[in-house]
Chains A and B, each alone.
Chain A
C-alpha cells in the first residue's frame, strides 16, 4: 500500500506542529502529513516547565540574549544561527500569544518574564511552570484549524526512503493494526525530539528514544556534536522527574547535606539573599551539575535509597509565590516525593535532560541529504553548542520548526518529479524485514528486549556521564558493540499485530543502540573539556584543535566516521565563561 504527501513531518511535538503550520501558511496547496508514534498532545514538549526565552523588556537587547547563548554554549554554537534565533524567538513567542498561549502576565496585562540560569537579563516568558504544556496544546489546537494537515496518529516510522541521494518518504507501522505503509513524499522533516532514554536516569518521557536521529543516521545523514548531553542539576531522586530551573530563578537555593550553599566553592559567585542573574543557583546547567559531582566526592551530599542528593530549598519563598509561580513543582513533589516544598527541603540530583547534538542541519533545518530536514531537539543547528541555556529550547523549536517548514515549502515547489516505483520497492523490502522481525523473534531462548535496554542505559551512565575519560568511553563502546550482537538474537513474547508495544520497544532499542554508539564515539574523539563534555584526562578547553563541530556519519560497512566542521563566529571571539563575578 502507498500514500503520498508533498511533505511528511515525523513527530507531532512543538517543532513538528510549528513546521506543519509554517508549510500550510507558506503554500496552502501543499499536502502535509504529521506521522507520530503518539497523539500530538502526548509529545514530550508537554513536560517542559520553566519557560521560553526571548527579549521582552526595554532594558534587554538581542545582542545580550545572543551573548548569553554563545557564552553558555562554551563558544561551540554557530553565531549566525544564534543571531537569527534571538530575533525570531521574540516574533515566534508573540505569534504564540496571538494564538492564545496563556503566558503569565503582569498586573497591567503585559507579558511577565522571569530570570533563568545563565541569562543576564530577565527574558524568560512562562505560563506558570507548565510552559511546555501550554505551548504544545496551543500549537496543537491552532493546528486543528488547518484542515489540510493530515495526521497519522500512533504510527511509528521505521525507515527513511532514499533514492538517487534524495529522501523520498518513509515507511511506517500503524500501531493499532500493525499494517505497514510506504508514505512517499517530496520532503521529510524530522521532529522527533531527543534521546534521553539511552540513559537510565532522565527527565525524558518514555517516548524519547532518539528514533529520528536513528533513522536519519541509518539513511546516511550525519549527526553533529553528539557528545554533548545535558544534565539538569535538579531532578527528583528515584523517578528523575524534573524540578524546573524556575524554582531557582524564583529564589530557590541549593544546599549540601550541611545546609551550606556549596555552589560558592565552584567559581559561581557569592551567596546573596535575593537571586543574582548569571550567579550561584542561576549559573549554567553544566557547571551546576559538575559542582554536584565534586561535592559528592568531598562527601558532602546526603545519601538516600535512590542515591546521593543535595537539597533545593524553597521554604523561604512562601506558599503564595509557590502556588502562583511554581504550582506544578508543588504538585510533583507531593505526588512523587511525598513532601511539601512550602515546608520541606526537596531532594534533587543531576539528571539527563537534553541532547545538544543531533541531526546536522543548516540554519534552515536542511540536512546534507536532499529532501531531508530536521528541527527541534532532534536537530543540531547549532545554537546550543556544548551547553544549552535553560529556556532556549522552546523558542528553538518554534524558530527552527518554522524555518524548516518555510524552507521545505520552497524546496518542494522547485523539486522535479521522480518515479515512485523504486521507493515503493524499498517500502516492500522494509515491510518484509518487519514481517521477519516479528516472526523470527518469537523464540524462547533469546534475551529480553528490556534487559538489553537496561544494560545499555547503565553502560551509558557509567561510560559517558557528567565526567568521562578514554578508558570509560572505550569500555562503553566495546560494551555497546557486544549489546548489538546480543540484540540481534533477542526475543519477543508478543507475536500480535494489534498494538504490539513490544515490537515498538524492539525497534526503538535498535535505533538507541546506534545513537548511543554515536554519543560515545564522538566523545572519545573529542580530547578536550568543553561545556557538557568533561574529560578528566583532558580537563581543559582546546580551541586550537576542537573549536569545531564533530560530525559522525555511518559508513556503508556499518562502522562510523567522525569528522570536524568549523564553528561560525561572527562577533564574539572565544573567551572565558564567567559566572558570578
Chain B
C-alpha cells in the first residue's frame, strides 16, 4: 500500500527542538550518551596499543620511554577512564546477551539469568587465566 501524498505544503508542523540537556532526563539516556562519548577513549586505547607495539619493536630504550610515559599521572588517569568505559561496554554487552541469545532445552527456554551468569562466569575464568599468565 502507499499513502495518498500528504499536503505538507499546507501544513505547518511544529518540530520540537532537541533540548541540550535531554541526556540528563533518564539514567539510561545518560548511559547512552556516555557510550557514544566512549568512542574517543576506545580510540585512545587503540592508539596506546599501537604505541606499545611500536616501542617493543624499537628496542629496550624505546620500551623504557613508553613505560615512563605510561607512568605519567595524566596518561594514567586517561587510561583509568578508558578502562572504565571498556567495562561499561562489557557490562552493556553482557546485559544484552540474554536478549540476543534465545537458547532452548527441549521446549523450555533457558532463563535469561542463566545466560547472563554464564557470561560473567566466563569473564571471571578468562580474567583468572590472564592474571595467572602475568603474575606467575
Q: Which residues of A contact B (CB under 8 A)?
A: 3, 33-34, 143-144, 146-153, 155, 174, 176-177, 179, 498
Q: How far is the CB of B91 from chain A (nearest CB, A)?
A: 33
20 intermolecular pairs with C-beta atoms under 8 Å apart: A143-B1, A147-B1, A147-B2, A149-B1, A149-B2, A150-B3, A150-B4, A151-B1, A153-B3, A155-B4, A174-B7, A176-B6, A176-B7, A176-B11, A177-B7, A177-B10, A177-B11, A179-B7, A498-B11, A498-B12
| Contacting pair B4 A153 (CB below 8 A) | yes
Chain B residues near A148 (CB, 8 Å)? 2
Complex interface bits, B1-34 against A, C-beta within 8 A gives 1, otherwise 0: 1111011001110000000000000000000000
Give the docked Cα–Cα distance between A34 and B1 (Å). Answer: 10
Having A150-B4, A176-B6, one finds 10 other A-B pairs with CB under 8 Å, namely: A143-B1, A149-B2, A150-B1, A150-B3, A151-B1, A151-B3, A152-B4, A176-B7, A177-B11, A179-B10
Which residue of A has the minimal Cβ distance to B107?
Answer: A107
**Residues of the A chain whose Cβ atoms lie less than 8 Å from the Cβ of B7:** 174, 176-177, 179
Interchain CA distance A446-B88 in the complex, whole Å? 64
Q: In the complex, A498→B10 CA distance in Å?
A: 10
Cβ B4 vs Cβ A33 within 8 A:
yes
A153 to B1, CA, bound (A): 11
With the chains together, A152 CA to B4 CA distance in Å?
5
Chain B residue numbers with a CB within 8 Å of A176 are: 6-7, 11
Interface string of B30-74 (1 = CB under 8 A from A): 000000000000000000000000000000000000000000000
Chain B residues in 8 Å Cβ range of A151: 1-4
> Which residues of A lie under 8 Å from residue B6 when comparing CB positions?
176
User: In the complex, how many angstroms separate the beta carbon of B9 from the nearest chain A beta carbon?
Assistant: 9
A143 to B1, CA, bound (A): 6
Specify which of A144, A152, A176 lies most central, judged by the most chain B CB atoms within 10 Å of its CB: A176
Q: How far is the CA of A177 from the CA of B4 in the complex (A)?
A: 13
Cα separation A34 to B4 with both chains bound (whole Å):
10
CB of A36 to closest CB in B, whole Å? 11
Instruction: Give the residues in chain B near A153, CB-CB below 8 Å.
Output: 3-4
- Inside 8 A of B11's CB, which chain A residues have their CB? 176-177, 498
Measured CB to CB, the closest approach of chain B to A182, in angstroms, equals 14
- Which residues on the B side are within 8 Å of A174 (C-beta)? 7
Shortest beta-carbon distance from B29 to chain A in Å: 28
Residues of A within 8 A of B4 (CB): 3, 33, 150-153, 155
Cα-based distance from A179 to B6 in the complex (angstroms): 11
**Cα–Cα distance between A3 and B5 once the two chains are bound (Å):** 11
Tell me the smallest distance from the CB of A214 to a CB of chain B, in Å: 23
User: How far is the CB of B51 from the nearest CB of chain A, in Å?
Assistant: 54
B37 to chain A, nearest CB (A): 38
Q: How far is the CA of A33 from the CA of B7 in the complex (A)?
A: 17
Most chain B beta-carbon neighbours within 10 Å: one of A147, A155, A174: A174
Residues of B contacting A498 in the complex (Cβ-Cβ under 8 angstroms) = 11-12
Taking CB atoms, residues of chain A closer than 8 Å to B1 are 34, 143-144, 146-147, 149-151
For residue B12, which residues in chain A have a CB less than 8 angstroms away from its CB?
498
What is the minimal beta-carbon distance from B8 to any residue of chain A, in angstroms?
A: 9
Contact, CB under 8 Å: A150 / B10: no
Q: Which residue of B lies closest to A140 (CB)?
A: B1
Q: Could you tell me the distance between the alpha carbons of A149 and B4 in the complex, rounded to whole angstroms?
A: 10
With CB as the reference atom, state the residue of chain B lying closest to A34.
B1
Cα-based distance from A150 to B6 in the complex (angstroms): 12
- Chain A CB within 10 A, most for which of B1, B3, B10, B11: B1
Q: How far is the CB of A169 from chain B (nearest CB, A)?
A: 15
State the CA gap A153–B6 with chains docked (Å).
Answer: 10
- Find the B residue at minimum CB distance from A143: B1
Provide the bound-state CA to CA distance between A151 and B112, in Å: 42
A144: B residues at CB distance < 8 A = 1
Can you name the residue of chain A whose Cβ is closest to the Cβ of B13? A176
Query: In chain B, residues 62-110, which have Cβ atoms closer than 8 Å to a Cβ of chain A?
Result: none
In the bound assembly, the distance between CA atoms of A498 and B7 in angstroms comes to: 12
Residues of B within 8 A of A146 (CB): 1
Q: In the complex the two chains form, what is the Cα distance from A153 to B2 in whole Å?
A: 10
Q: How far is the CA of A572 from the CA of B10 in the complex (A)?
A: 59
Contact residues in B for A33 (Cβ distance below 8 Å)? 4
User: For the complex, what is the distance from the CA of A243 to the CA of B1, rounded to whole Å?
Assistant: 34
Docked pose: A174 CA to B3 CA in angstroms: 13
* Whole-angstrom CA separation of A366 from B58 in the bound complex: 89
Roughly how many angstroms separate A124 CA and B20 CA in the complex, as a whole number? 55
Q: How far is the CB of B108 from chain A (nearest CB, A)?
A: 15
Complex Cα gap A498–B3 (Å): 19
Among B2, B6, B12, the most chain A Cβ lie within 10 Å of the Cβ of B2
Docked CA distance A143–B3 (Å): 12
The minimal Cβ–Cβ distance linking A109 to chain B, given in whole angstroms, is 13
State in angstroms the CA–CA spacing of A147 and B2 once bound together.
6
Determine the chain A residues whose CB is within 8 A of the CB of B3 once the complex forms. 150-151, 153
Question: In the assembled complex, how far is the CB of residue A28 from the closest CB belonging to chain B, in whole angstroms?
Answer: 14
- Which residue of the partner chain B has the closest CB to A20? B1
Distance in angstroms between the alpha carbons of A150 and B2 in the assembled complex: 5
A179 to B8 alpha-carbon distance, docked (Å): 12
- Report the bound CA distance from A437 to B7 in whole Å: 23
B2 to A: closest C-beta gap in Å: 6
Distance to closest chain B CB from A441 (angstroms): 22
Please, how many angstroms separate the alpha-carbon atoms of A115 and B6 in the complex?
Answer: 46
In the docked arrangement, what's the CA distance between A144 and B1, Å?
5
Give chain B nearest CB distance to A34 CB in angstroms.
Answer: 8
Please report the C-alpha to C-alpha distance between residue A151 and residue B6 in the assembled complex, in whole angstroms: 11
User: Considering the complex of A and B, which 7 residue pairs feature the smallest CB-CB distances, nearest first?
Assistant: A149-B1, A152-B4, A177-B10, A177-B7, A151-B3, A151-B1, A144-B1
